[in-house]
Amino acid sequence: MTTSATESSPSAQFELEKLVSELRTLMASKDLDSVPEIKQMRQRLEDGMHSVRDAAIRAAQEAANQAKDAARAADRYAHDEPWRVAGAALAVGALVGFLLARR
C-alpha cells in the first residue's frame, strides 16, 4: 500500500461517516413527511447506505487479509532464507552508514 493511500484512508472514512450522518439527519426530518414520495426515497437512501457500508467493510477486510498474507510471505521467506535476509540487511545498513558518513 502506498503512503498516499494510507494517508487518504482516514480522510475518506471521515467523509463517508459525515455523509451518512447528514443523510440520517435528512431522513429523520419531520418537515419532509408531507411529501408523498419521501418514504420511498428514505428507503432507497437507507438501502444505499447499507450497501456502501457493506462494501467498505468488505474492502477493509480484504486489505487486512492481503496485509496478513504479505506478512506471512515475508516471515516464511525470512525463515527459509535467513542468510539472504541478513546479507540484505547488512548491505542496507552499510549503504545507510556510508551515506550518513558523507554528510
Average pLDDT score over the chain: 82
Q: What is the span of the domain harbouring residue 64?
A: 3-102
Residue 38 scores a pLDDT above 70: yes
CA dihedral (99, 101, 102, 103) in degrees, to 10, reads: 100
Q: Please compute the mean of the pLDDT values over residues 57-81 and round it to a whole number.
A: 91
- Which pLDDT belongs to residue 73? 93
Residue 27 scores a pLDDT above 80: no
Closest residue by Cα to residue 42 from 65, 25, 67: 25
DSSP SS3 for 35 = coil
Q: Indicate the number of domains in the chain.
A: 1
Closest residue by Cα to residue 45 from 68, 72, 27, 70: 27
H-type alpha helices, the chain: 3-28, 38-80, 82-102
